[in-house]
C-alpha cells in the first residue's frame, strides 16, 4: 500500500507546536521513576542497581522503554503505546532478570 504525505505520521519534534513532545509529563514520575529532560521533551529514568531504565517518546503519542547497563550498553528495548505500559514493561523485564 502506498502512503501519501498527508497520511504519514509526523515524527519530528520540530512540528510539536511548542508543546512538549510525546506523551510523558511530570506527573508520570511516580513509583521510583524520576523526571529528566525539559519542558520541550520529558523522559523518565530509574535505577535498578546494576541496570538502568529509561522511558522516552518515540512519536507524539507513543514511547519506548529501554533497559541497559551503567556503561550504556543495551539489554532490552521495546516500543509501547503508553507511558504506564512502558514503565510496567521495564519493571517486569528487570524483575524477570532478577528471579
Return the closest-CA partner of residue 80 out of 93, 96, 97: 93
- Residues 1-55: pLDDT tens digits? 344 444 444 445 555 566 789 999 999 999 999 999 998 999 999 999 999 999 9
Distance, in Å, from the CA atom of 55 to the CA atom of 46, rounded to the nearest integer, reads: 9
pLDDT of residue 5: 43
pLDDT of residue 19: 78
Half-sphere exposure of 84 (CA within 13 A, CB side): 1
Task: Answer whether 0.85 is exceeded by the pTM.
Answer: no
- Residues 76-93: pLDDT tens digits? 999 999 999 999 999 999
Amino acid at each position: 500500500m502506498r502512503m501519501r504525505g498527508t497520511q504519514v505520521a509526523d515524527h519530528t519534534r520540530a512540528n510539536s507546536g511548542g508543546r512538549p513532545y510525546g506523551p510523558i509529563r511530570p506527573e508520570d514520575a511516580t513509583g521510583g521513576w524520576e523526571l529528566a529532560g525539559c519542558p520541550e521533551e520529558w523522559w523518565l529514568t530509574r535505577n535498578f542497581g546494576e541496570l538502568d531504565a529509561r522511558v522516552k517518546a518515540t512519536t507524539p503519542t507513543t514511547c519506548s522503554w529501554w533497559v541497559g547497563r551503567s556503561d550504556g550498553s543495551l539489554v532490552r528495548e521495546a516500543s509501547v503505546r503508553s507511558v504506564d505500559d512502558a514503565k510496567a514493561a521495564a519493571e517486569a523485564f528487570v524483575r524477570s532478570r532478577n528471579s
